[in-house]
Amino acid sequence: MYLWFHKLGSPPHFYRLAGKWIPWLTALFLMLMLAGLYGGLIVAPADYQQGDSYRIIFVHVPSAWMSLFIYMVMAFCGGVIIVWRMKLAEVVLISSAPIGASFTFLALITGSLWGKPMWGTYWVWDARLTSELILLFLYLGIIGLHNAIDDKRMAARAVAILALVGVVNIPIIHFSVEWWNSLHQGPTVTKLDEPSIHYSMLIPLLLMALAFQVYYVLALFQKCRAELLQRERNSRWVEEL
C-alpha cells in the first residue's frame, strides 16, 4: 500500500498514468454528459411551479457541489503538503484552484440566472450566496498567493495554509440554508430523508453531477501534466520525453 502510494506520488509515474487515463476519462465524461443533458432537457417534464426555468439546476447544482468538493480536495492536499511535503500534492492543489474557481463562478452565475425569473432578483446578500462568493474569493486568493511567490515549494506551503484556514467556510456554505433565514432553498438531495425531487429530475441531476466529477479529474490531470512538465523541466525524466 505504502509502496503504491509512493509510486503514485512520483512525478514521472503520475505524468504517464494521467496521460493514459485522459482519453478514457474524456469518453466517460462525454457519455455521462450527453445522457444527463438528454434526461434533463428532453425527458424531464417542466416543473409545475417553475416551468422550464428549473432546468438550470442541472448545471447549477453540480457546479455548486463541485465548488465545495474541489475545495475539500485542496484542503486535504494542504494537509499532506504541511505534514509530508509531497510534491504531487502541491501540483494537485494548485492545479485544482482554477477548476474550482470556475465551478464556483458557474454556480454563482447560473444561480443568479435562475434567481432573476424565480426570485425577481439576480442577487441578494443572503447567507448562502454570500458564503459562496467568499469561496470564490478564497480560490482567487489561493491563485494570487501562489503567483506572488517565485519559489514554487515555498508558494505551495503558503497556499496550503490558506487552503486549510479557508476550509471553515465549507460547512458554513453547506449549512447556511439551515442556520440562517435564506432565500435559497434547503437541501433537496443531500439529506438523510428521501430526496424531495422526482426521479425524472433526480436521475439527470445525478448523471450531470457524475459527469462534472469525471470532468474535474480529466481537467485536473491535464493541468497537472502541464504543471509537472514546467516544474520538473530540469530533471532527467522530462529530458527523456
Partner 1 sequence: MAEFFYMGGYAAFVWPSYGLTAIILWLNWYLPRKQHEIFLRQLRRRNRASQ
Q: Which stretch binds partner 1 (CB under 8 A): 74-82, 126-134, 145-153, 230-238?
A: 230-238
Q: Is 94 in the site for partner 1 (CB under 8 A)?
A: no
Contact assessment for residue 43 and residue 121, using Cβ atoms and an 8 Å cutoff: no
Cell of 164: 486549510
Which DSSP letter does residue 40 get?
I
Q: Is 168 in the site for partner 1 (CB under 8 A)?
A: no
Closer Cβ to partner 1, 84 or 235, answer by number: 235
- 191: exposed, middle or buried (C-beta count within 10 Å: 0-12, 13-18, 19+)? exposed
Question: Site map for partner 1, 24-53, x if CB under 8 A?
Answer: -----------------xx---x----xxx
Applying the rule CB under 8 A, the residues between 190 and 219 that interact with partner 1 are: 215, 218-219
Q: Is 55 in the site for partner 1 (CB under 8 A)?
A: yes
Amino acid sitting at position 149: I
Q: Is 20 in the site for partner 1 (CB under 8 A)?
A: no
Q: Is 144 in the site for partner 1 (CB under 8 A)?
A: no
Shortest reach from residue 134's CB to partner 1, in Å: 20
Cell of 241: 520525453
Contact assessment for residue 169 and residue 21, using Cβ atoms and an 8 Å cutoff: no
Shortest reach from residue 230's CB to partner 1, in Å: 6
CA–CA dist 139, 142 (Å, integer)? 5
Question: Across the strands, what pairs with 47?
Answer: 51
Q: Which stretch binds partner 1 (CB under 8 A): 5-13, 58-66, 127-135, 184-192?
A: 58-66
Among the listed residues 213, 103, 69, 227, the one whose alpha carbon sits nearest the alpha carbon of residue 156: 227
Shortest reach from residue 183's CB to partner 1, in Å: 17
Q: What is the number of H-type helices and E-type strands within the chain?
A: 9, 0
Cell of 160: 496550503
Cell of 175: 449549512
Among the listed residues 125, 96, 99, the one whose alpha carbon sits nearest the alpha carbon of residue 183: 125
According to CB under 8 A, which one of 7, 16, 85, 116 is a site residue for partner 1? 116
Shortest reach from residue 168's CB to partner 1, in Å: 27
Cell of 65: 457541489
CA–CA dist 140, 219 (Å, integer)? 18
Q: Which stretch binds partner 1 (CB under 8 A): 6-14, 150-158, 186-194, 227-235?
A: 227-235
Closer Cβ to partner 1, 193 or 240, answer by number: 240
Residues in touch with partner 1 (CB under 8 A): 41-42, 46, 51-53, 55-56, 59-60, 63, 95, 98-99, 102, 105-106, 109-110, 113-114, 116-117, 215, 218-219, 222-223, 225-226, 229-230, 233, 238-239, 241
